[in-house]
Structure 1
Amino acid sequence: MESVFHEKQEGSLCAQHCLNNLLQGEYFSPVELSSIAHQLDEEERMRMAEGGVTSQAYRTFLEVQEQYS
């Protein structure tokens, strides 16, 4: 290995810097990680809905999601 990649910490982008440092390159941007997070949120919402959209677990899930939106 000729050199070690190190992405200096900026703002609150810990996950981005951690992944890029681990992978030794600029693989992820904040926009890409945000897109991945939104995709995972939608997948989780669909899986929770499989148990019934009127279930208490699904309603609680939606309430928590709204708090973080």
Structure 2
Amino acid sequence: NQIARNRALVAIDQLRKTHPHHRVVVATHGLVLALVLEHYTERPANEWLKTMGSPAIHQLTFDAGGKKSHEQLL
């Protein structure tokens, strides 16, 4: 799980650097999504997995200072 989470976080960081001030859509499997959400929201991945529907759509927003916000859209 740590390897998958780290790979996803590196990819997200690269997308943020490559496409600043743009919306980017990322598709992944539920477990990877739960691990990423755990990192950014500090809510445990197993809690995300228990409540996550399929499909699940989540929005992470980062401001210029790197502050993040999360919203579950579906």
Q: TM-score normalized by structure 2?
A: 0.33
Indicate the structure whose relative CO is greater, using CA pairs within 8 Å and at least 6 residues apart. 2
**Larger helix proportion of the pair:** 1
**Larger strand proportion of the pair:** 2
